[in-house]
Amino acid sequence: MTNSAPMDDIKNLIETAPAGDSDCAAAVRATLAAFPGPAPVLGRLEEELVWLASWQRKKMPAVSRPLIAVFAGTHGVAGHVMDDDPSIVARRRVDGLTKYKAVVRGISANMNSAFKVYEMGVEHPVPDIREHPSLSEKECAAAIAFGMEVVAEGADIIALGNAGTGSATAAATIAQGLYGGTADYWAGAHDHSAETRINAVREALSAHDLSGANALTYLQYFGGRDIAGMVGAIVAARHQSIPIILDGFVVCAAAAVVHAINPAAIDHCRAGALTSEPAHEALLDRIGLKPTYDFGVSLGDGTGAALAVQILQAAASGLETLQ
């Protein structure tokens, strides 16, 4: 990336996102069509396998090297929204993930998935977005570049999760900035901190004049390191032919930033679970994705996306028997 205009390089990568492989997609359709029994043998999962083949660029898609990647960061605005020290809360969440005290770790082990937490300055909160941009332009570009390293793990599919503290407030601010509406629409929740969170979103947007700004500017001002890192993961995965399953409202806010620049640039993404997070379904609607399932999963830490990957893994194994 150049030093003079680091975000221009990111924008260019999003605008030049390569297409999927139509021949691989056609090969999967042909395999399914040749099955002698009633069609469709795998129902709606057939199109998911076609999608998987297209973006893996394989005529027989497989989920043999999945990665669950969880991005964690701390947002200064969390000190206003929550009662506890946000850095301590973030460290507790990360420790739970790294020490196997999380449901997603059990799911990961069950499907022999790699698991990695990308810590994005957990002990060093970004500035409170009600007062200052969360990152400078260079800091935002650096966080995006760090997130791009996710492709170095050699995965054939990535489940993307988030364990940031204050990240839901940041994501709601980005969503309102991109799509309009009201703070309570994007940040409302049925808990004691809802009013404080809604006011924080309202104050953050009022504090900065971003009229005419592009999506990457909203990311810089409100997204923090963890959401910027996930943008990098989504962009790099596209250029390396790795499909992504998105989990939760915060992760989908990262996808929304990419989608706002080039809607086709998230065609390699699918939504995992519909979580109970505020406005998650509304955000999915804006970026044109439907959840794989809705079991009422409440977290966005990769749990829902990991379950969706496991479904794809089973379906791909079933497809292999039809050869």
Per-residue pLDDT of the chain in tens (323 residues, 90 and over written 9): 444 588 999 999 999 999 999 999 999 999 999 988 888 889 999 999 999 999 999 999 999 999 999 999 999 999 887 777 888 888 999 999 998 889 999 999 999 999 999 999 999 999 999 999 999 999 999 999 999 999 999 999 999 999 989 999 999 999 999 999 999 999 986 565 688 999 999 999 999 999 889 999 999 999 999 999 999 999 999 999 999 999 999 999 999 999 999 999 999 999 999 988 889 999 999 999 999 988 888 778 999 999 999 999 999 999 998 87
pLDDT at site 89: 87
pLDDT at site 1: 47
Please answer whether residues 222 and 215 qualify as being in contact, where contact means their C-beta atoms are separated by less than 8 angstroms.
Answer: no
Contacts of 6 (CB under 8 A, 6+ apart): 137, 138, 140, 141, 142
Please answer whether residues 81 and 197 qualify as being in contact, where contact means their C-beta atoms are separated by less than 8 angstroms.
Answer: yes
* HSE-CB of 150 using CA atoms within 13 angstroms: 39
Rounded Cα gap, residues 7 and 9, in angstroms: 5
> Token pair for residue 312?
């794809």
> Token pair for residue 175?
């969503």
Q: How many residues does the chain have?
A: 323
pLDDT at site 41: 87
Please provide residue 14's backbone torsions phi and psi, each rounded to the nearest 5 degrees. -70, -40
pLDDT at site 277: 83
* Domains recognised in the chain with CATH numbers: 63-317 (3.40.50.10210)
Determine the residue type at 41.
V
Closest CA to 159 of 111, 96, 100: 111
| pTM of the predicted protein model | 0.95
pLDDT at site 191: 61
The residue ranges of DSSP E strands in the chain, in sequence order, are 66-73, 114-120, 157-162, 244-246, 269-273, 291-293
Closest CA to 311 of 44, 55, 20, 40: 44
> Token pair for residue 279?
């406005």
For tokens 């390089």, the residue is 9
Please answer whether residues 293 and 308 qualify as being in contact, where contact means their C-beta atoms are separated by less than 8 angstroms.
Answer: yes
Strand pairing category for 66-73 and 157-162: parallel
Determine the residue type at 160.
L
pLDDT at site 87: 87
pLDDT at site 4: 52
Contacts of 25 (CB under 8 A, 6+ apart): 50, 51, 53, 54
Closest CA to 200 of 186, 190, 219, 210: 186
Contacts of 55 (CB under 8 A, 6+ apart): 20, 21, 241, 242, 243, 267, 268
Strand pairing category for 66-73 and 244-246: unpaired
